[in-house]
Amino acid sequence: MQFQTLAEYFDRLEATSSRLELIRILSTLFHEVHSADEVEEICYLVQGRIAPFFAPIEIGMAEKTIADALSHAFAIDREEVLIEFDRLGDMGLAAQKIAKGKHKETSSVSVKEVFDILTEIANTSGNGTVEKKITLFSDLLKKLDSVSIKHVVRIPLSNLRLGIGDPTIMDALAAVKLGDKKLRSYLEGAYNRTSDLGLIARTLWEAKNPVAGVDAIEKLSVQVGKPIRSELCERLPDAKKVIEKMGEVDAQYKYDGFRVQIHKKGNDIWIFSRNLENMTHMFPELIEAAKQDIDAKSVILDGEALAYNAVSEEFLPFQETTKRRRKHNIAEVAEKLPLRAFIFDILYKDGKQLLDTPLQERQKMLKETIIKDDTLLLAENNLIDDAQKLQNMLDDAITKGLEGVVIKKMNSKYEAGARNFNWVKLKRHNAGELKDTIDCVLLGYVSGKGKRTAFGAGALLVGVYDKKEDVFVTVSKIGTGLTDEEWTSIRERSKGLERDHKPARVISLIQPSVWLEPKIVIEVLADEITRSPIHTAGAVLEENKVVESGYALRFPRLVSFRDNDKSPEDATTVKELIDMYQEQGKKS
């Protein structure tokens, strides 16, 4: 396939505000792809990548480096490029405008050629790295048409602006190769085990027919070095409801840190975040502990890492732990903020995946695997079948300054990527009727008035995730809970995420001053959840009019930004929101 053809599809995807149209366009694109190699590359490019999210491969070109490449390619002063970028707010649009009229508007460069050059740039290292990357990228730009240039320039900047979620890509793959997008569940299962959409697409294209495709997809298994998508918790309102629903449970303290998945194969160690990001280099003490404290040739462990103050023997809040996410001065910061990782599950050991092994057996294997309890700490297990004992443990957790407790069914499997009642969280009760915080996604902001005019934002439009439809729906506007500095930082945090039209995966009846691509996750505290005729979370809409009211947050305030450790799809779901509403004692 010519890259110009792919770029034209990208243009159509960027312009649509309908998720169904996204699926249709992607399906048409995939119908044109006949090679397993090419569909793998296209899947990564649609994700704005040249490899799976977990692969530590970055193209390594920032805006000023891209400006240098454009300057070289089109004989224009670098400052002119940056001025155009500042004016348009998007380096892709700036590049397209600069390229127009400089050469013919057609190009014959293939997708593979572009993919290979971007990969070569990412792998460039040594003396003169920056200059080499600029030359390679500049030479590529000279060969492309202006539409292709717009999208190629956005890829190194991780800002492709297509507004496509992984479930939408899987819908299109299932429609094309399995005959029905409703068969996406097969692909989701494989994605939860492998976290690699390119691999899934390649597997489908290599199969001779849909039946063979399903069979091949189901055989894709866990591999050390490829993260498994984390199992997540449901919510219940109190200890009594937990015991009534779950019976005897294993209760563990809930730590507010980084979810870490530790992979070991010999002396090779990988550490992945909940977002599938490779964070290995950030945590040298966990690498060393994994080499010394684990009795297994190969293993995958699930845990939570927190910053630890050795002097006071206390675990620090999440805001302190986030300081460990950095690319520079890692050893220095590690000495000031050492981490401890509480390991609560084992998913693979010495050639055997353990996802289908009951929790009780996994816990026994885990205790046999962690041989030194120092940096890698075994999470404490508490078998409880009494509501009062569970409440006592929750109270104790809060006294210790922890978030709460996580409760697990003893015979449950590890359901990768799932959120169900095999795992339930109980957290501290806050003032007001709502007993838990809610993870929301920024969808836009309303320009400020009065004092906030200077900040650029006066209220945030936020939403939650509708997992069934793979869309984000509004739940509140937030105007409190931010300091002056945080209001000012909203513009900086959302730089590159602004859109001039509603993103395709956003359902909203409210028109903010500026739309944002759903990327930034925030933790929100509110007094209660109410029914709302203007918010779309849980609403029934017909022709963009509310037939049945949705749900909204009353007196919401921002607690913290969580996009460092949570993806938008990890935000609170509509189902969770409705459950929390009902837990307030109200009738849905």
Q: How far apart are CA 155 and CA 52, in angstroms?
A: 14
Q: How far apart are CA 473 and CA 460, in angstroms?
A: 14
Category of 580 on φ-ψ map: left (φ > 0), alpha (ψ -120 to 50) or beta: alpha
Q: How far apart are CA 518 and CA 498, in angstroms?
A: 10
φ and ψ at residue 522, rounded to 5 degrees: -125, 150
Q: Which residues are the active-site residues?
A: 254
Category of 276 on φ-ψ map: left (φ > 0), alpha (ψ -120 to 50) or beta: left
| Count of H-run helices and E-run strands, the chain | 21, 24
| Token couple for 105 | 């508007």
Which residue in this structure is represented by tokens 């003169």?
128
Q: Which of 385, 345, 419 is nearest to 242 (CA)?
A: 385
- Residue 326 in contact with residue 318, Cβ under 8 Å? no
| Token couple for 338 | 């050492």
| Token couple for 265 | 């194969």
Q: How far apart are CA 388 and CA 558, in angstroms?
A: 32
- Residue 223 in contact with residue 196, Cβ under 8 Å? no
Q: Which three-class secondary structure state does DSSP give residue 267?
A: coil
Q: Which three-class secondary structure state does DSSP give residue 323?
A: helix
- Cα 210–214–215 angle (5° rounding)? 115
Q: How many CB atoms lie within 10 A of CB 396?
A: 12
Q: How far apart are CA 517 and CA 472, in angstroms?
A: 10
- Classify strands 404-409 and 249-254 as parallel, antiparallel or unpaired: antiparallel
DSSP 8-state code for residue 569: G
Q: Which three-class secondary structure state does DSSP give residue 545?
A: strand
Strand ranges inside 61-145, DSSP E: none
φ and ψ at residue 476, rounded to 5 degrees: -175, 160
Which pairs with CB-CB distance under 8 Å and at least 24 residues apart come from 6-13?
6/42, 6/45, 6/111, 7/145, 7/147, 7/148, 7/150, 7/151, 7/152, 8/147, 10/151, 10/160, 10/162, 11/147, 11/151, 13/162, 13/163, 13/164
Q: How far apart are CA 8 and CA 328, in angstroms?
A: 39
Which residue in this structure is represented by tokens 């506007």?
477
| Token couple for 356 | 């289908």
